[in-house]
Amino acid sequence: MKKYLMNFEYAGFLFSAKVFVKRENRKMLISTQIVDNQLTYLLGQGRLLFLEDRNGFQLLLCNRDRTFEILKWEIAREYVDQIERVEEEAFSLS
């Protein structure tokens, strides 16, 4: 699975989202996770969706009322999750 950080514009502001791309057989599964809390509030019940057309991929904001907006977007960079392990230390309250 490839992981990217994506920047996109909405309502005149620049936001970020994580994009997860996984290929299975001849299918490509793409999911997004919004990084900015303010955007979650602005979007309400809207959903981000990638749609492939002859020019590449379009990023759509799909609203509950079945309308949509095409958003400008770009891949900022690819990233790898870094997981830190924290060892539990025994301690006593006495």
Residue 88 inside a domain? The answer is no
Residue 8 inside a domain? The answer is yes
Phi-psi region of 44 (alpha: psi -120 to 50; beta: other; left: phi over 0): left
Is the predicted pLDDT of residue 85 greater than 70, yes or no? no
Residue 92 inside a domain? The answer is no
Domain range for 30 is 2-78
Residue 90 inside a domain? The answer is no
> 70 CB contacts (<8 Å, ≥6 apart)?
58, 59, 60
| Residue type for position 71 | L
Total structural domains within the chain = 1
Residue 94 inside a domain? The answer is no
Say which range, 9-23, 33-47, 53-67, has the weakest mean pLDDT: 33-47
Contact between 1 and 22 (Cβ < 8 Å)? yes
Contact between 68 and 10 (Cβ < 8 Å)? no
Residue 87 inside a domain? The answer is no
- Model-level pTM greater than 0.85? no
